[in-house]
């Protein structure tokens, strides 16, 4: 059973993760004002992976992973969690609004449960079902005032769904692998680099120099996506996953709520009583999932 301090640290990690992860949609939309999707993605992954690997191997003196098994795991995880997920995501953000992009993040808990049940025969208890229903209801309620202002194409929605599917598969894969004594920063650094390498051929193929302006919009978006999102948020996500992937996935329900707040500040989108009631329902759902997670360890 976790101590009160451990529970508080876990709760704080979940909240900070949700806020940082939710900010990615707005940052991506800002970056797209100046550059092509894959250019933004490659720049982001290059900056993030370089920082993490320098810290891990030069400052912390962590060993470079060795063995075919670990490198196979890093490659598969990098492909699912970075290459496919974020590559498809940045493409989709050309076709959908920032609010809708954040809203789709909330489908991941459901997909994680469904994929987990299908691949690994994980049981889904009644409390989990109830918590997900409450979180989905809260998410939709909070999003209701923005539905009329959201825009999307069928193509964009399809790409976004495939992006979320890859992210959910990556979460399950990471949680089910034996990473041994490989430091979490090392895992994140190499999987980010590998994911970026997977996207490099696509960037080169579609590159159009006239479509890219490396101005403040570009570098502001890239640095925010690289450091607070790709480094801090992903490390928090890996920390949450190592505890319990189903329980960790519930924090994704907070992302749309945080996203609405960020959109209100940066884009002037309104907040209403729908938002408040949605937040309350999401928090109740999160409490049920956390309570179930703790009780299973008693």
Q: List per-residue pLDDT tens for the chain, 298 residues long.
A: 567 777 888 889 999 999 998 898 889 889 998 999 999 999 999 999 999 999 999 999 999 998 899 999 999 999 999 999 989 999 988 887 777 777 777 667 667 777 777 776 766 667 767 877 887 787 777 767 766 666 667 788 889 889 988 988 998 888 888 998 899 899 999 999 999 999 999 999 999 999 999 999 999 999 999 999 988 998 898 888 777 776 777 787 788 778 878 877 876 766 778 777 877 887 787 777 656 554 444 4
**CB of 286 within 8 A of CB of 131?**
yes
Q: Is 272 helix (H, G, I), strand (E, B) or coil?
A: coil
> What integer pLDDT is reported at residue 292 of this predicted model?
55
- CA pair distance 77, 80, nearest whole angstrom: 5
- Please list, in sequence order, all residues whose beta carbon lies within 8 angstroms of the beta carbon of residue 45, skipping any fewer than 6 positions away: 82, 86, 192, 193, 195, 196, 199, 226, 230
> What integer pLDDT is reported at residue 116 of this predicted model?
74
> What integer pLDDT is reported at residue 150 of this predicted model?
60
**CB of 145 within 8 A of CB of 35?**
no
> What integer pLDDT is reported at residue 297 of this predicted model?
47
> What integer pLDDT is reported at residue 197 of this predicted model?
95
- CA pair distance 185, 189, nearest whole angstrom: 6
> What integer pLDDT is reported at residue 288 of this predicted model?
72
> What integer pLDDT is reported at residue 9 of this predicted model?
86
- Altogether, the residues listed in the chain come to a count of 298
**CB of 195 within 8 A of CB of 19?**
no
Q: Is 221 helix (H, G, I), strand (E, B) or coil?
A: helix
- CA pair distance 154, 95, nearest whole angstrom: 9
């Amino acid at each position: 059973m976790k101590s009160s301090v451990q529970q508080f640290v876990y709760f704080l990690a979940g909240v900070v993760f949700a806020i940082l992860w939710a900010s990615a949609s707005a940052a991506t939309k800002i970056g797209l004002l100046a550059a092509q999707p894959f250019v933004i993605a490659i720049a982001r992954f290059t900056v993030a992976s370089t920082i993490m690997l320098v810290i891990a191997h030069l400052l912390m003196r962590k060993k470079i992973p060795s063995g075919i098994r670990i490198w196979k795991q890093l490659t598969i995880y990098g492909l699912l969690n970075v290459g496919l997920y974020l590559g498809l995501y940045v493409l989709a953000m050309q076709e959908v609004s920032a609010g809708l992009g954040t809203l789709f993040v909330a489908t991941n808990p459901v997909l994680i449960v469904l994929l987990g049940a299908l691949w690994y025969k994980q049981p889904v208890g009644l409390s989990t079902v109830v918590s997900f229903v409450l979180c989905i209801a809260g998410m939709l309620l909070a999003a209701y005032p923005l539905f009329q202002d959201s825009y999307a194409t069928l193509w964009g929605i399809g790409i976004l769904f495939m992006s979320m599917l890859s992210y959910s598969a990556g979460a399950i894969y990471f949680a089910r692998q034996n990473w041994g004594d490989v430091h979490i920063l090392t895992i994140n650094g190499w999987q980010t680099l590998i994911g970026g390498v997977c996207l490099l051929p696509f960037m080169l193929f579609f590159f159009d120099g006239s479509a890219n302006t490396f101005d403040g919009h570009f570098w502001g978006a890239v640095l925010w996506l690289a450091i607070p999102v790709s480094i801090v948020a992903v490390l928090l996500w890996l920390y949450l996953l190592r505890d319990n992937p189903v329980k960790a996935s519930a924090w994704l329900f907070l992302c749309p709520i945080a996203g609405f707040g960020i959109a209100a500040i940066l884009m002037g989108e309104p907040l209403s009583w729908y938002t408040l009631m949605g937040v309350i329902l999401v928090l109740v759902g999160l409490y049920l999932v956390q309570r179930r997670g703790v009780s299973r360890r008693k």
